[in-house]
Chain A
């Protein structure tokens, strides 16, 4: 029994199975919302699952030039890192394996998929993937700092590095949630960059470099990469929810899970809105934007939080 429960947590809920199913569902929500906003029909609800199953059955082609072992292992690395990150983020009020400092660990774990994207592009050894890989890395330096800065703000105000405690703090002091608005918006935009969605889908901008870092990927391996991206969206939304929006707001049990789903759906809606509103920008424009505007905004929020902490005592 001691073994089965953690295994169930890891593999079923809130681990792999839940993340996969909910990730593909959020993918559909995102696509459907975009479609409605763009005056289109959009896909049916099972499209994500159908695509996933179909790709599983497709042949995997590994380029001769590619580093075979690396090429095959990377998608699973990305997925493992994302699932691990979720273990420290509260889904029903408390996290499974929360500890002091897990905020930093989660930020670190969420960087791993980006690095695997870079390595995937690099080890594919094709021109499009190489350019895509370079863009992944360049983009990482653009959004990572604003994301980190904006996540640190609420932590400082709550006086803890434990995500569960942060969300408990904001659930206890809901007045402080609106004070985090700037940081939340900065984190949202940075998350859009992390998920490589429009207007920051520069690494795999299809009309410039075809599939970017994933150009040479096919079949099962591509499938798991795409699944990892969908999972990353769930984890990213869950992280923003826990840090900025007070997580389950003190609820427990099924109500907390319902709250979690509602709030991640809300964040998905905001991400979809960002996606349809703008044109894709160039990589150098993104770096300028992130460093000139996003990082100072996150920094301002941080300073404001320190000030607030000092005032509140």
Chain B
């Protein structure tokens, strides 16, 4: 049978954000896949250099709509570390609470998207209805549903009252019941099993080699979770299991996320029950002494890494964000090859991609009418010129 090349994206019903996958099809089977990024660059890292640390909070929160708390927490941990400030214990606990509520909201969202991509619209409608509960929790606690803006440098902006606590626990109890139903459904519904089992295989060695993170890695049997490996916030005080699964396929990713939901509910209750007393924020000076700092964080989609360099002013010198999707995209090309066309949306969705977090830059050359890939030499030359304009000449070093 002759080969057909099908573009999946940048505009395609299966994709929530612009990205492009070129698929070479032999009949219904994929014999080759390439992933092309670069449709969604927003210049956030550069923009962060022009704003103060506090203003950046607003910006960093908008790196991703779903893991907004993850990015600000990672960023703020860096800032607080550089400013050598002692964040109050209560603030850390509230941040942990938000982190887990966010994971619940993100995983429920993913469950719905997975249902939609496998053509199971009922699952999509049900999970998104239930997701409203956790969004209500977030709104009740922070005033916002998506960008909670709970973090501030030195602590959190809002405290939690006993009434709010009761409201959250009540909603979480409802969600526990619903999640158990979804787990049962995922394990028993034959069409779900038919669509997810043995789809998008990612063996353990390939997952390690390609640097998979988060639920994608854990579904390949790789016990990698920042919350366990290097506990931040108050995760070392919480009792939770690291969920792994060894089927290496989309089904495993479904199970890992569903069971992680259960762990998150457990953690939310633990945090609410032992909320430490004390202030929720401390004062932090505007200017931060020169230094650099790297922190990582287990976002719902995997490990999120932020690098921050300060230069003694009230603005950062450099901020670098490595979103989890970038780490997982390397695995997507592997997972797609040899699979069926029908599974492509599901395989892509299974890493829970968030392209806008990931995209950095694409160079469009209007003279040649195509995008260009810059080599290391080109980038080096460009940066030397850039710094020469600023009055620093690196060629002499």
Task: Report A's interface with B, CB cutoff 8 A.
Answer: 34, 37-40, 127-128, 130-131, 134-135, 198-199, 201-202, 205-210, 276-285
Contacts and interface: CB of A to CB of B under 8 A. Distances in A.
Contacts of A280: 118-120, 191, 195, 342
Interface string B16-30: 000000000101100
Contacts of A37: 122
Interface residues of B, number: 33
Contacts of A207: 12-14, 116-117, 119, 345
B125 A282 contact: no
Given A128-B6, A202-B342, A210 B13 contact: yes
B195 A210 contact: no
Contacts of A285: 194
B118 A279 contact: yes
A299 to B, nearest CB: 22
Given A127-B4, A279-B195, A208 B118 contact: no
Contacts of A208: 14, 341-342, 344-345
B51 interface: no
Given A199-B191, A208-B342, A208-B345, A279 B115 contact: yes
Contact of B119 (A198, A210, A284): A198
A205 B119 contact: yes
B126 A38 contact: yes
Main secondary structure of the interface of B (DSSP, over half): helix
Interface in B172-225: 189, 191-192, 194-195
Nearest to A130: B4
B143 to A, nearest CB: 27
Contacts of B123: 279
B125 A127 contact: no
B125 A283 contact: no
B52 interface: no
Given A38-B125, A127-B4, A198-B119, 14 more contacts: A38-B121, A39-B125, A39-B129, A131-B341, A198-B121, A199-B119, A206-B13, A210-B13, A279-B119, A279-B189, A282-B194, A282-B340, A284-B28, A285-B194
B122 A38 contact: yes
B31 to A, nearest CB: 14
24 contacts: A38-B121, A38-B125, A38-B126, A39-B125, A39-B129, A40-B125, A127-B5, A127-B6, A199-B191, A205-B119, A207-B116, A207-B345, A208-B14, A208-B344, A210-B12, A277-B122, A278-B120, A279-B192, A280-B119, A280-B195, A280-B342, A282-B194, A283-B342, A284-B340
Nearest to A282: B342
A245 to B, nearest CB: 27
Interface string B93-124: 00000000000000000000001111111110
Contacts of B342: 202, 205, 208, 280, 282-283
B186 to A, nearest CB: 11
Nearest to B193: A279
Given A38-B122, A40-B125, A281 B195 contact: yes
Contacts of A284: 28, 340
A84 to B, nearest CB: 32
B7 interface: yes
Contact of A282 (B14, B27, B195): B195
Contacts of A40: 125
Contacts of A202: 342
A37 B25 CA distance: 37
B344 to A, nearest CB: 7
B343 interface: yes
A201 B115 CA distance: 15
A209 B192 CA distance: 20
Contacts of A127: 4-7
Nearest to B199: A282
Select the residue from A39, A127, A198, A209 with max chain B CB neighbours within 10 A: A209
